Amino acid sequence: MKIKKGVLLLTVFLFINSFVLAQNKNYKIVPLPKEQGAATDLVYKMIVDKQGFVWLGTMFGLVKYDGKNYHIYNNDPFDSTTIGYDDVINIFEDKDGFLWIATWANGVNRFNPNTEKFERYFNNPNDSSSISSNATTAFSQDGSGNIWVASQNGVLNKYNDQKKSFERITIPRSVLRNTNKGPDLITYVAPHGEDLIICFNGEIIKFISKAKKFAQYYNETEAAELNGKFVNILYKDSKNNLWIGTNKGLYKYGLQNKLERIEFLGAKNVPVFYSNMIREIREDNDGNLWIGTPIGLNKLNEDGKTFSFFTNGTNRGGIYIDYDVFNIVVDKGGVVWVSSYRRGIFKIFENKDVFETVLITTNEPQSQNYTIKDLIEDGSGNIYAGSFGRGLLKLNKPQNTFEEVATGNIKFSNINALAVENNKLWIGSNSGLRLYDFSSRKFINTNLKVENLKSFEDVAVSSLLIDSQKRLWVGTASSGVFLIDEKRTEAKFINLRIAGGSNVLYQDLSTLNINMDKDKNVW
């Protein structure tokens, strides 16, 4: 039978009849430090690259965060291999690991992370093979590996790596259902097989690569639902649902080709105050959907209908992401990274250090403080606790409570240590060492021969350990340490000597704890 025991388990205190176990659905929010000159509170774009580095496009340069330090890349007017302009508004990593960087009306840069050199691409009014504009808004890479750069005036620029040039393709206004919308702005481009899906002037269109033609993505009924709404972002999740973030709410285009508006609801499906402006959508490694809005961060719960809000005091740690969430990214380890304009960068991850209360069942009307001295799990997965005040306890897992174990005519008020052996339990208390049989629910007479003592019955036992050789170590409060052989016939007194080769005996006979390390050494 496999026995599990906590290593170096210290005293655990229970207050108001309670014990604590770890929770699962709590998150910890950690703000990144604002230091080393990095403008972490002025971030327009954030990505995590294939190597796990976090890249920030800020008002004052391109920033790489390696988990400890910030590395800032600024323009040097005397070095053409530096970034062309410091005001970075977009970053995209292609399949080869190059970073494509859009600056504020000052061209595009391609960054080689191996050489840490930049290539600059500017518009040349006299060269039609140059990028169409220095004001670029989005990047994408299609299924064939082609890089696409979206620029103002509704132009897609297809990059030719061999010639270091661009092919310009203008989106006609005639493809729009509402031709009066906007200033010909492309806000989002993503691969759609060999084609592209595009947010253009707030509408969703697709680019058919082979035919070099544009078409509406939705039919007339679906488009009517989005009429009057400006589409900011599209996101396809792991289940192939397409999420649509607009200036007037969140929509889901599911596998059944049905467009559905997602209402922002809180507990008990009560509508809560929120912003209709959806700026960012991202799925984490567990399939949760995170939403960024001007008033904060939201997470769609597992029911697919209600949201958790990281705003307005809902986070018990006192850190609120309650302002202009522009970017949400997820790294390989499952950490969610969030950039909040003027608030900074935050890491969000499951908080495994948060605890929940497990009550101790008692018939006593008054509240008492109980101390748990030891916890142990038997081979069947049952968890037992030795306590001061309530004796031997067993965890009722369905009810999430500890209940007293009936021990017949022998009552334990103060239990210090437990050790499981087959279907039996060794109990060390202030009134000695006892062996309890779970099957018969009776105590067994051990008939041990104890060196230097008549028996263990009147000795305060403080610690127990069954080692790799199945021997039982017994630590006492004032009588020293004893070792019971694997046949459980005799207990020998162990002389403890001071380390360093000395023959001087250790005089203190009190023992607080005995444990065994991974190399089977007993401490």
Measured CA to CA, the distance from residue 110 to residue 120 in angstroms comes to 7
DSSP designation for 414: B
Quote the pLDDT of residue 189. 96
Q: Does domain 4-23+355-494 have CATH number 2.30.110.10?
A: no
Quote the pLDDT of residue 368. 47
Q: Which is nearest to 396 in space by CA: 121, 72, 21, 1?
A: 21
Structure tokens at 463: 């610690």
Q: Which is nearest to 328 in space by CA: 300, 305, 348?
A: 348
Measured CA to CA, the distance from residue 118 to residue 78 in angstroms comes to 13
The owner of tokens 């808004």 is: 137
Write the pLDDT tens digit of every residue in 377-411.
Answer: 887 788 888 888 778 888 887 777 888 887 777 77
Quote the pLDDT of residue 439. 81
Measured CA to CA, the distance from residue 288 to residue 260 in angstroms comes to 18
**Which residues are CB-neighbours of 168 under 8 A, at least 6 positions away?**
128, 132, 155, 156, 157
Which stretches of 355-489 are assigned E, i.e. beta strand?
355-360, 370-377, 383-388, 392-396, 401-404, 415-421, 424-429, 432-437, 442-444, 449-450, 461-466, 472-476, 481-484
Quote the pLDDT of residue 224. 80
Quote the pLDDT of residue 237. 93
- For residues 497 and 507, is the Cβ–Cβ distance under 8 A? no
Q: How many CB atoms lie within 10 A of CB 120?
A: 18
Q: Which is nearest to 251 in space by CA: 240, 241, 266?
A: 241
Measured CA to CA, the distance from residue 286 to residue 299 in angstroms comes to 12
Three-class secondary structure of residue 199 per DSSP = strand
4-23+355-494 against 229-349: fold identical: yes
With vertex at residue 262, the alpha carbon angle to CA 314 and CA 229, rounded to the nearest 5 degrees, is 110
- Claim: this prediction has a pTM higher than 0.85: no
Measured CA to CA, the distance from residue 156 to residue 149 in angstroms comes to 6
Domain ranges of the chain: 4-23+355-494, 229-349
Partners of residue 322 on adjacent β-strands? none
- For residues 232 and 244, is the Cβ–Cβ distance under 8 A? no
Quote the pLDDT of residue 345. 93
Residue numbers of the chain with a pLDDT score lower than 70: 1-25, 179-182, 255, 265-274, 311-320, 322, 352-357, 359, 361-370, 413, 497-508
Quote the pLDDT of residue 505. 55
Arch. (CATH architecture) of 229-349? 7 Propeller (2.130)
Classify 125 in phi/psi space as left (phi over 0), alpha (psi -120 to 50) or beta.
Answer: alpha
**Which residues are CB-neighbours of 459 under 8 A, at least 6 positions away?**
432, 433, 453, 476, 477, 479
Measured CA to CA, the distance from residue 109 to residue 384 in angstroms comes to 63
Quote the pLDDT of residue 353. 63
The owner of tokens 């467009």 is: 259
Quote the pLDDT of residue 304. 76
DSSP per-residue letters across 284-307: -TTS-EEEEETTEEEEE-TTSSBE
Measured CA to CA, the distance from residue 373 to residue 24 in angstroms comes to 25
Q: Which is nearest to 89 in space by CA: 27, 133, 46, 48?
A: 46
Secondary structure of 249-284 in the HEC alphabet? EEEEECCCCCEEEECCECHHHCECCCCCCCCEEEEC
Quote the pLDDT of residue 143. 92
Tell me which amino acid residue 43 is. V
Q: Strands 54-58 and 43-48, how do they pair?
A: antiparallel
